[in-house]
Structure 1
Amino acid sequence: MRALAPLALALAAPPVAADTLVTQTGANAVRADFALPTPDGRIVRGSFFLDFAESSGLTPANLNVRARLVDPADPALLARFPGAGAGLSVPEAFPVMVSVSPLPGSGFAFSDAVAAEMYTKALAFTADSPFRVLKAPAGGAFNDQTTGVIEGSVRIRVRTHSFSDFLVVADTRPAADAARAAYARLSAKLDDGDVPAATRGLLQIDLDESFEEFLEGDYEDARDELDAFELAVSAEAGVSLPNVWRAAGDLDNVAGALAADAQNLDFHLARLATAEGDDDEGDDD
């Protein structure tokens, strides 16, 4: 159940937009490649991948994917960051927002959580890389949805239950703070009226037990309890938990949202567990 574990811009004008080449690479997969010209004559390149467990009406045109440059210092953008933006910044080497805005009348739909990946050579990979992908509804508040950061040069993996705005940031928050925020998001989603009381009760037990282990510093045990939570969500997806998103905007993909946030939480718990293991090895020396 666990997920796959600088360029100065002084933009006085609105964000620069450019065409994005979107290709369908499989029945349930697409990629978007972009090369964005900056005001100082540089080109920022990258790719964005989407892989659906199950979809209908999937075409590049229906997805309506667009990459554009943003101003890393734009107050309106920063105001959308979680926690008043503390510890979060847009890397000047890659100030790119990818927006996925499926056309309402396209008939496009998908189930469960979507695997997405942002790839670029503009950023350098390091151990315990600070780069994350934030996701937000169009013009709405961002939240961290990262499930992994891997080499090549930087590939940031995320899960999401809906669309549309994806943004790479550097995140210097302590991993424990990021984990607390993820626990809080999951608790809030469980309180959503779309989660039936009986299902909510079962999931809350697993989440509470995971959080208790987290508070005690037993991060691997916290991950084990979170595994139980994810298994329960998977079992209830399409049964008691709605698990479909449609471009028409008439359905709430509750199971996908819970699964995506749980995998983001697991990413941060894994970071904590790794750091704890490194500390233990140091103590043995």
Structure 2
Amino acid sequence: MLISNCFRKFSSVAAAALLLCSIPATQAEPLTLEVNPRTNTIETSVELTPLVSFDLKIKFDNAVGLSAENISVDAQLLNVNDPALTSRLPDSLLTALPTAFPVQLSITPDPSKGFSFSGAYEIEIYTKSLHYTEGSPLRLFHSHANATFEDMTTMTGAGSMRVRGNGGQFSDFVILADLRSKSDVINTKFTRMQSFVTAQQTNLGYAAVTALDNALSAINSALAAQQTGQALAATQQLINLLESDDGTLFPNVWRSAGDLVNVQGRLLGMATTLRYSLRTL
């Protein structure tokens, strides 16, 4: 298979981590959470099998009603060849769930409770089941409402594998090996952000639409000219614009009832993961 052949491009350590014997799929199990409302954090440490364990941390800038009763996190071992999974991959030939860590996390706030947050959250997964090496293809992906998994990575690092991402809504989360070209990943991320802005224009005022159109035009022009440095600078300007807003220009609240679109948080997630890919180009 193409995936198996491409893995040979990476170090033997990384390849060994990805090509361990398959781990049987399991039913989703709820995790015991350590919730700290003072620091707006959720943390847990999990051992699903002797070979599969991880630490999870979610941090909010500002949250209301954050408690273990208002939010649940489930972990499940998946069959890497399950059509229900492979049909949600962005590319069935170039992206794959590593058999050493076939884990899906599902974060589900109780819609009947009063949990909400503003801006973007940060999620971090740390696992010794995978090993980070320079050039590793491992990335953090999320999927909302069983849609296609999307790359949300903002950081990858050693010890043994640590990944982070930002988001504005809750989803399913997986770590995938992504062997798509970096230019394809960048174009996909930009197109996704552009489509989201277009879809949200009716929820935004003139000033917000104009600012976003100008920011996206600057990024697009730089990408078309293959000016990575200029694209990175324009993306950073967009991130600065979003982070400096207090919700006046861009709606920035998500709540468990599911009745609000957290435009600021979702755009920050898209922009920061685009920045990550531009930095690694």
**Could you say whether these structures have the same fold, taking a TM-score greater than 0.5 normalized by the shorter chain as the test?**
yes
Among residues 87, 101, 114, which one is paired with 1:107 in the alignment?
114
What residue ranges of structure 2 are gaps of 5+ in the alignment? 1-18
Q: Please state whether the residue corresponding to 2:124 is helix, strand or coil.
A: strand
Deviation per residue, 1:58-108 (Å, 9 max, x gap): 1123120111111111111111122x4341100000000111001112211
Counterpart of 1:63, as a letter, is I
Q: Residue 85 of structure 2 aligns with which residue?
A: 77
Counterpart of 1:172, as a letter, is L
Counterpart of 1:21, as a letter, is T
The offset of 1:139, in angstroms, is 2.3
Counterpart of 1:149, as a letter, is T
User: 2:255 & 2:269 partners in 1: Cα distance?
Assistant: 17
1:229 has 2:231 as partner: no
The offset of 1:19, in angstroms, is 4.3
Q: Residue 157 of structure 1 aligns with which residue?
A: 164
User: 1:18 & 1:105 partners in 2: Cα distance?
Assistant: 21
Q: Please state whether the residue corresponding to 1:167 is helix, strand or coil.
A: strand
Q: Residue 207 of structure 2 aligns with which residue?
A: 198
CA contact (8 A) 1:19 1:34 kept: no
User: 1:20 & 1:190 partners in 2: Cα distance?
Assistant: 35
Among residues 30, 43, 63, which one is paired with 2:42 in the alignment?
30
Query: What TM-score, normalized by structure 2, do the two folds share?
Result: 0.87
Q: Residue 49 of structure 1 aligns with which residue?
A: 57
User: 1:125 & 1:249 partners in 2: Cα distance?
Assistant: 36
What residue ranges of structure 1 are gaps of 5+ in the alignment? 1-5, 273-285
The offset of 1:237, in angstroms, is 4.6
User: 1:196 & 1:76 partners in 2: Cα distance?
Assistant: 39
Q: Residue 8 of structure 1 aligns with which residue?
A: 21
User: 1:19 & 1:104 partners in 2: Cα distance?
Assistant: 17
Query: What TM-score, normalized by structure 1, do the two folds share?
Result: 0.86
CA contact (8 A) 2:51 2:129 kept: no
Q: 1:237 to 1:258 in 2, by over 3 A?
A: farther
Q: Percent identity?
A: 31
Counterpart of 2:126, as a letter, is Y
Among residues 90, 93, 99, which one is paired with 1:92 in the alignment?
99
The offset of 1:20, in angstroms, is 1.9
1:21 has 2:32 as partner: yes
The offset of 1:250, in angstroms, is 1.1
User: 1:31 & 1:266 partners in 2: Cα distance?
Assistant: 26
